[in-house]
Amino acid sequence: MNLKHFFIALAVSFPLWWGANIFQKNSQDFFLWQIIKADPELFLAEAQAPVVRRSPAISRNPGEKSIVPEDFSASAAFAVWVDNNGRRKTLFQKNADGKLPIASVSKLMVADIILNNYDLSRIVEIDEAAVAREEDFGSLKAGERLSVKNLLYLILMESSNDAVWALAEQEGIDNFVLEMNRQAGESGLADTYFINPNGVDPDIPNGPLNYSTARDLSRLAQTLYEKKPLVWDILGLSAYDLYMPDGKLHHRLKNTNELLGMVPRLIGGKTGWTPIAKGCLVLLQRAPGNQGFLVYVLLGSDDRFGEMAKLVNWADRAWSWQE
């Protein structure tokens, strides 16, 4: 009799249990569609969110020693790998946070300001004040007219102080330098400061000069590569034919970076040198297996190209990549 009652109770309760589950599922579906209806953009954003891939493995080769300090004259050196998700891993550092003069590496920030604020097709006339700058890189003459874009090529490839001055004059030299420092602060370059737009040494002994750190400059180089690729497109050129607005050839530019064509996977680099700053160089290189890129910085070097080649070669030997 009890068994009979059990089966009767089971038969009666099953439809109730099945109905409750269907109701729960329908309720969940209903509320889900209500959420989608209320905020469809949120749903689409979640559906289209990129999948973040795990960073590929990189490991130090235990048998490879670090660079011997006495063989490395640079006051500061830094090497960092930036993966395809923008994450950074330091590979080598020597005085990476020491504030040092940076000479014409300052022109990386100049390029950033130009691309933020100038129309590249705008024509600028070169004046006497511009051609009076130290050195004559760029071969500019007073009265010549060139586009902002062509002046940018002169700044980055031949490190022309005249071209920098000609563009900075358009906003006023003091205002241009203020903008350089404002941009440095906004970019998180806390140990970077600019006195002039071209990075030349001061006219008076112990006067103020442009300074930064190897770590800050690596971040500036990374930002420009990610957000202003034209800068590194230009810096990767070994030569470029510069034309006047009338179509006449001004001259053939030659890049000041002697490592172009010498370093494998090289993206480009910005050079700098003054008697006080000595040799400075920022270099970008594609990582093996297209796994992001590497940023190298040298400041205060007696042999910037030789020591940079040594640093790049060391990184290739000292680190293994899982491709």
pLDDT band at 224 (very low <50, low <70, confident <90, very high): very high
Per-residue tokens: 190: 């806390």
Q: SS3 of 11, please? A: helix
pLDDT band at 59 (very low <50, low <70, confident <90, very high): confident
What is each CA distance from 35 to 31, 43, 229, in whole angstroms?
A: 6, 8, 40
Among 29-38, 93-102, 160-169, 170-179, whose mean pLDDT is lowest?
Answer: 29-38
Residue 138 has pLDDT above 80, yes or no: no
**% of the chain exceeding 70 in pLDDT:** 78
pLDDT band at 132 (very low <50, low <70, confident <90, very high): confident
Between these two residues, 115 and 49, which has the higher pLDDT value?
A: 115
- Sorted by sequence, the CB contacts under 8 Å of residue 53 that are 6+ apart come out as 84, 85
Residue range 249-262: mean pLDDT, rounded: 96
Could you confirm whether 139 is annotated as catalytic?
A: no
What is each CA distance from 43 to 24, 34, 37, 46, 197, in whole angstroms?
A: 22, 11, 9, 5, 47
Residue 320 has pLDDT above 60, yes or no: yes
Is 270 annotated as ligand-binding? yes
Between these two residues, 281 and 203, which has the higher pLDDT value?
A: 281
pTM of the model: 0.81
What does the alpha-carbon distance between residue 252 and residue 116 come to, in Å, rounded to a whole number? Answer: 27
pLDDT band at 62 (very low <50, low <70, confident <90, very high): confident
Q: SS3 of 88, please? A: strand
Residue 52 has pLDDT above 70, yes or no: no
Check 75, 94, 104, 301 and give the catalytic one: 104
Mean pLDDT of the chain: 85
Check 75, 107, 218, 278 and give the catalytic one: 107
Give residue 312's identity as a one-letter amino acid code. Answer: V
Q: SS3 of 89, please? A: strand
Could you confirm whether 107 is annotated as catalytic?
A: yes
The pLDDT of residue 61: 75
Check 147, 159, 212, 218 and give the catalytic one: 159
Q: Apex CA 134: angle with CA 133 and CA 138, to 5°?
A: 75
Could you confirm whether 301 is annotated as catalytic?
A: no
What does the alpha-carbon distance between residue 198 and residue 125 come to, in Å, rounded to a whole number? Answer: 19
Residue 78 has pLDDT above 70, yes or no: yes
The pLDDT of residue 17: 44
Which residue spans within the chain are E strands per DSSP? 58-60, 76-82, 88-94, 100-101, 123-125, 145-147, 211-212, 239-243, 249-254, 266-274, 278-286, 293-301, 319-321
